[in-house]
């Protein structure tokens, strides 16, 4: 009897864990539309920028991203042409349904003066609602956009990890060390109250 109970418990536990990991491992299918352009950005410039974002988004390993050639093939069968002017949510959802994609990623990049503006959003095809949205402004060399797009792809996928800033740790340590050196030069013994120990170094 005890053996049967243990076997039953083991089967239930394995089934429960399998169900959890199966759900966590499921990836939504996503299609990235050609980015829309504005300001001083040309269509010739936007194509490699869009491809870079797609590569960065695939690298997050969070979505099953449809290939552009496959998208074109499916839409051609439906007598639908993928246009770079599809910049409305309604158009994006329509394409998503034709592609049988769960998510549609839509973005636009513009340049005004020396500043680039980038907006990228994930639209849920079943609800037509914007699930996530990232906006950035960038001022600098054009190739710097690639790093901005990489970070945006990670934020949209939920894999972005901000770099830790230890500036205050090093400033605090330098101030304490400087205070101790000054006390020694003056022939005074630094007090524990006046010169606190620096914080523990980062792991």
Phi/psi for 75 (5° steps) reads: -65, -35
Domain closes at, from 140, 157, 174? 157
Do 173 and 193 belong to one domain?
yes
Domain closes at, from 142, 157, 172? 157
pLDDT over 60 at 166, yes or no: no
Q: Is residue 33 part of a domain?
A: yes
Mean of pLDDT values over 40-49? 84
Tell which wins on pLDDT, 45 or 158.
158
Do 110 and 150 belong to one domain?
yes
pLDDT over 90 at 85, yes or no: no
Going from the C-alpha of 141 to that of each of 61, 138, 147, the distances in angstroms are: 29, 9, 11
Which of these ranges, 7-21, 26-40, 72-86, has the smallest mean pLDDT? 7-21
We report the CATH number of the domain holding residue 110 as: 3.40.50.10610
Q: Largest alpha-carbon pair distance within the chain?
A: 88
Tell which wins on pLDDT, 162 or 110.
110
150, 149, 157, 31: which is closest to 86 by C-alpha?
31
Do 101 and 150 belong to one domain?
yes
Do 151 and 168 belong to one domain?
no
Confidence of residue 152 (pLDDT cuts 50, 70, 90): very high
Most confident of 2-16, 77-91, 117-131, 154-168: 117-131
Query: Mean pLDDT over all residues of the chain?
Result: 77
Q: Is residue 5 part of a domain?
A: no
Structure tokens at 185: 């030069």
Do 191 and 93 belong to one domain?
no
Do 142 and 191 belong to one domain?
no
Q: Is residue 6 part of a domain?
A: no
Do 120 and 140 belong to one domain?
yes
pLDDT over 80 at 148, yes or no: yes
Domain span including residue 174: 164-203
Confidence of residue 25 (pLDDT cuts 50, 70, 90): low
Radius of gyration of the chain (CA): 27
Query: 38: helix, coil or strand?
Result: strand
Do 178 and 135 belong to one domain?
no
Do 43 and 74 belong to one domain?
yes
Q: What is the pLDDT of residue 62?
A: 96
Do 32 and 96 belong to one domain?
yes
Q: Is residue 18 part of a domain?
A: no
**Cα-Cα-Cα-Cα dihedral sign, residues 142, 147, 151, 153:** positive
Phi/psi for 181 (5° steps) reads: -65, -40
Q: Is residue 100 part of a domain?
A: yes
HSE-up of residue 40 (Cα within 13 Å, Cβ side): 7
Query: Measured between alpha carbons, how far is 63 from 28 in angstroms, rounded to an integer?
Result: 5
Do 149 and 177 belong to one domain?
no
Question: What DSSP element (H or E) covers 117?
Answer: strand 115-124
The dihedral over CA atoms of 152, 158, 162, 163, expressed in degrees to the nearest 10, equals: -100
Do 190 and 98 belong to one domain?
no
Q: Is residue 113 part of a domain?
A: yes
Mean of pLDDT values over 109-133? 94
> How many domains is the chain built from?
2
Q: Is residue 142 part of a domain?
A: yes
Q: Is residue 7 part of a domain?
A: no
């Amino acid at each position: 009897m005890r053996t049967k109970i243990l076997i039953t418990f083991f089967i239930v536990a394995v089934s429960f864990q399998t169900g959890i990991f199966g759900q966590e491992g499921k990836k939504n299918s996503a299609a990235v539309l050609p980015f829309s352009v504005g300001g001083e950005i040309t269509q010739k410039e936007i194509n490699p920028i869009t491809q870079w974002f797609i590569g960065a988004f695939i690298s997050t390993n969070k979505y099953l991203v449809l290939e552009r050639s496959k998208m074109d093939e499916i839409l051609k069968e439906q007598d639908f042409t993928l246009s770079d002017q599809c910049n409305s949510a309604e158009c994006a959802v329509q394409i998503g349904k034709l592609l049988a994609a769960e998510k549609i990623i839509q973005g636009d990049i513009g340049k005004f003066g020396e500043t680039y503006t980038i907006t990228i959003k994930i639209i849920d095809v079943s609800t037509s609602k914007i699930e996530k949205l990232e906006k950035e402004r960038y001022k600098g060399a054009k190739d710097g956009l690639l790093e901005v797009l990489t970070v945006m792809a990670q934020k949209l996928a939920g894999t972005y990890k901000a770099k830790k800033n230890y500036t205050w740790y090093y400033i605090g340590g330098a101030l304490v060390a400087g205070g101790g050196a000054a006390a020694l030069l003056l022939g005074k013994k630094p007090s524990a109250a006046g010169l606190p120990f620096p914080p523990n170094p980062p792991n």
